[in-house]
Amino acid sequence: MVGSDPVAKDRWNAQAYDAAASFVPKLTSAILAELDVQHDDHILDIGCGDGQLTAQIAQTASSGRVLGIDSSPSFIDTAAKSFSAPNCTYVLHDARALDACSDAMTGSWDKVFSNAALHWILRDPTTRSAFFPNVYRALKPGGKLVFEMGGFGCIREVHASMISSLVHAGLSSSEVQASSPWFFPSAEAMQKYLSDAGFRVKQCHLVYRPTELTPANEAGTGGLEGWVRLMCAEFLQAAPRGKRDQVVKEVCDILGPVITKEDGTLWLNYVRLRAVAIKE
């Protein structure tokens, strides 16, 4: 289902995401245990992506309701076509303006959930100050916020190599930093955001989770190249158009030997921030 609110220009492609990052909805056992879905739960999934994980949650909440929101038309189209159910629907909406989403701001959700999305959504400091108060308002009293996102130190090897390669391509350090799409906070900083919004923080901590990349393919959408092209798209858009492929190659050449195990598999140093907070 598509909402009437404006959304940001779509940077995602559901098929490319599946080729480069199919591990994302699979590595969720720990955060789903914290969500502890009950059969009658009403759950809001922020940054639901292509709906695979949202639909899994809805199967457990069989007599409840699950709503997934995402700013990507490609993701929402895939979710609506492939992962809808009578108790599971989707809305196209940019969560940076969560307060403008009437479907979400009901004040009646038992739980609000987010996986691997908030490090994109909260990239701009102006968004952070309003986002968690809006989530607080969306929950019913006693409701629970459960999320996992990139945390401090996440994929720092990628960040460093991308900065180096873009500077080599002619950008200044400040231009490169301004193009970064990510916000990877410390646990201490995130705890303050949650507390300031009124939440009682049950847990908020970092977890080191090395993550194996998908296999490379002829289309260049899998493996390290596919991951760089997809996840670093904002970085690449900052580069001169004629140098973008050069930047991708240089980043892959730098990272390849660093992240390859003896068996040939490629692993990035993911750091996850997991949090559970209660509306009181």
Q: Are strands 267-279 and 139-150 parallel, antiparallel or unpaired?
A: antiparallel
The secondary structure element, H or E, covering residue 140 is strand 139-150
CATH (residue range 14-155+182-213+268-279): 3.40.50.150
Among the listed residues 221, 223, 234, 241, the one whose alpha carbon sits nearest the alpha carbon of residue 179: 234
Domain ranges for the chain, please list them.
Answer: 14-155+182-213+268-279
Q: Per-residue confidence of the chain (280 residues) as pLDDT tens digits?
A: 333 333 446 665 666 666 665 666 667 889 999 999 999 999 999 999 999 999 999 999 999 999 999 999 999 999 999 999 999 999 999 999 999 999 999 999 999 999 999 999 999 999 999 999 999 999 999 999 999 999 999 999 999 999 999 999 999 999 999 999 999 999 999 999 999 999 999 999 999 999 999 988 887 788 999 999 999 999 999 999 999 999 999 999 999 999 999 999 999 999 999 999 999 9
User: Looking at the whole model, is its pTM more than 0.95?
Assistant: no
Among the listed residues 163, 159, 220, 155, the one whose alpha carbon sits nearest the alpha carbon of residue 20: 220
SS3 content of the chain, % helix, strand, coil (to 5): 45, 25, 35
One-letter amino acid identity for 144? K
φ and ψ at 20, to 5 degrees? -100, -25
